[in-house]
Amino acid sequence: MRRSGIITILLPCLMLTIQIIVFFVSAGHISIPKAWAFFGVTFVYLIVSNIILYRFNPELLNQRLKRRREGSKSWDEVLMRVNNLVVLLVVPAIAGLDIGRFHWSSLSIHYATASFMLYFSGSVLINWAMIVNPYFEPTVRIQKNRGHQVITTGPYKFVRHPGYLGGILWTLSIPLIIGSLFTFIPVAIYVLLTIIRTFLEDRTLNKELNGYSEYAKRVKYKLFPRSGRS
């Protein structure tokens, strides 16, 4: 594994640490069991996810953190970074202020238990997509230097953008697990930006990636099955 691959493994743990710090500084105290449950499960998930990806698609680890990605769309560079900042800083800040400091809202533990299904569904989709798709990079580009091809296996049999769908499900689970209704505000921003990214990426792939338009005719749904406009 190259240096970029090692950094790709360590970076999510660093981001999780930042989320934890932002959350508990915003909350003003650390005695919030549901938050610790969420962060603890997320830490385990990151470890397991990296082990799985290293086992089944190690080259993707090396590719995902390359600084120079020729052909990346400028609009996606912006949307990706804004989305990352929303999840990294805004979501934990609002959640901490809500349930730790000001108590604007409160959800029972029953919501947390049920919402872990969303969490794990999103996690499985993201990892499944990364296992089968060697071109699963952070930003949109046609990877001509790597012989970019349409991926039709795994979750791509059912929706055209399973990684985005997994990210939406995973992020929607956060307010429910932690117990903060107000956290749905930044989460809604994340979801909206992800839907915009999906639309723009799909349009790009239709225009620039050989075979994608034929694939799109077979797999009709961009994100959500049973929704013709997804």
In this predicted model, what pLDDT tens digit does every residue of 21-50 receive, in sequence order?
Answer: 999 999 999 999 999 999 999 999 998 998
For 20, 170, 181, 206, 207, the CA distances from 17, given in Å and listed in that order, are 5, 18, 23, 38, 40
CA 200 to chain centre: 17
The answer to whether 223 touches 161, Cβ cutoff 8 Å, is yes
Residues 6+ apart with CB under 8 A from 213: 206
Residue range 85-101, pLDDT digits in tens = 999 999 999 999 999 99
- 3-27 vs 33-56: helix axis angle to the nearest 10? 170
44 φ/ψ angles, rounded to the nearest 5 degrees: -60, -40
Please identify which residue in the block is written with the tokens 């296996």: 153
Residues 6+ apart with CB under 8 A from 50: 9, 12, 61
Question: Would the pTM count as exceeding 0.85?
Answer: yes
Give the three-class secondary structure for 183.
Answer: helix
Q: Which helix (H) or strand (E) holds 51?
A: helix 33-56
State how far the Cα of 195 lies from the Cα of 207, in Å rounded to an integer.
Answer: 19
Residue range 44-82, pLDDT digits in tens = 999 899 888 888 988 887 776 665 567 889 999 999 999
Mean pLDDT (the chain) is 91
Residue 229 has a pLDDT of: 45
